[in-house]
Amino acid sequence: MLNVNVKHDPATAIQKLEQFGEFGGVNPSITDSSTFTFLGTETMEGTFHGETQGCFLYSRHWNPSNKYLSDALAAMEGTEAGWVTASGMAAITSAILQVCNAGDHIVSSVTTYGGTYAFLKFYLPKFNIETTFVDSTDLNAVSAAIKPNTKLIYTESITNPLLQISDIPALSEIAKRAGIRLMIDNTFSPMIIAPHLLGADIVVYSMTKFINGKNDCVAGAICGTKDFINSLIDLNHGTAMLLGPVLDPLRSSSILKNLHTLHIRMRQHSKNAMYLAENLQKIGVKAIYPGLPQHRGHETLKRIMNPDYGFGGMIAIDLATPQLANTFMEDIQKKGVGYLAVSLGYFKTLFSNSGKSTSSEIPESIQKEMGMSPGLVRFSVGLDNDIEHTFELIKSTLKDLKLIK
């Protein structure tokens, strides 16, 4: 049984790791090899059969750079193990395909990243894996959707783009009662939420976003039990081993360095987002931000979050029509607020119209059902040192467009 009160400090867990490399560099040596030598044939055979520990065989399976990063992520999440992939989608699809076989069923939140939605809705049916989409904040709906062949409940801790909050402990209880697994995409809230410690079996990430925080690469991660990670890279049955979505070790090495500043960045993203959300609210603009008391998931988030890192760096505002949203975004880009771009977790503020970009895989009728306005502008708030000035720029554009007085 999970204990929400156990204090897990993800930043300290990462900080405490020590990797003394061959030459003692403060950063571990980068693995620049796809294959590894063995001093004897016996060790090679043993490694192939998984009996010899601590040896590396081939980089699609494991390599030291990926191991260092995976260990740091597992420390952050409080899981036994982790494995890093070449994209967030690679992490999500590999983990799902490892859990589900032909004929199985998934219960998923209807508000998920567009690529995940498309994978569940359009791609998995070709393997005869069906998904029922529900509002994952409606626990009764989640329970009611579970069938005898359901293997997995899937959702995001803070969902994209409406920033709904998943009650992970409650979802975990539902999953445990049904004898199935709970998988959580924690891309929007690393460190803020520790899904595994709240009862999730598998945690997936797009490291492209906050974890790496530089928008210089795509990458992903899967965290879970040792057994699950080993099953993913099993030579005969492992989805990750056989589909081969491994992350390049050069990238692992650079992401590991960025991971060490994640706690400082998350605090600043959260602080800036809170400032914008509160001040937008004050001037009469409806801001969707889980840090605001009027947000539907505010109390849930307060109950499950690590308060050291704030309420996250994502906010959304509803400008009603795509035309208004477009004019607004072009204007604030000209003023220097940030960039009109998809993705998130960057040091500059990024903004896009969700319905026309990151959620465009989701049919418009479903977008409506989800409560997603066609004029929704999603912000990934940057690390601005002068957020007051950024707010003034946004406010002046809102005034010019007569959206406020």
Which residue ranges make up the site for ligand PLP (CB under 6 A)? 87-89, 113, 115-116, 156, 160, 185, 187-188, 206, 208-209, 218, 220
Cα–Cα separations (whole angstroms), residue 194 to 63, 197, 292 = 26, 6, 21
Nearer to ligand PLP, 64 or 195 (CB): 195
Nearer to ligand PLP, 185 or 384 (CB): 185
Nearer to ligand PLP, 115 or 238 (CB): 115
Nearer to ligand PLP, 71 or 361 (CB): 361
Shortest approach of ligand PLP to residue 369 CB, angstroms? 19
Shortest approach of ligand PLP to residue 193 CB, angstroms? 13
Nearer to ligand PLP, 108 or 116 (CB): 116
Shortest approach of ligand PLP to residue 5 CB, angstroms? 28
Burial class (CB in 10 A: 0-12, 13-18, 19+), 282: exposed
Residue type, 190: P
Shortest approach of ligand PLP to residue 88 CB, angstroms? 2
Shortest approach of ligand PLP to residue 218 CB, angstroms? 4
Nearest to 385 by CA among 265, 304, 300: 265
Of all residues in the shown chain, the one whose CB is closest to ligand PLP is 88
Instruction: Dig out the tokens for 122 from the structure.
Output: 């359009």
Shortest approach of ligand PLP to residue 90 CB, angstroms? 7
Nearer to ligand PLP, 155 or 397 (CB): 155
Shortest approach of ligand PLP to residue 46 CB, angstroms? 35
Q: Report angle CA 147, 148, 154 to the nearest 5 degrees.
A: 50
Nearer to ligand PLP, 55 or 340 (CB): 340
CA distance linking residue 140 with residue 134, whole number of Å: 10
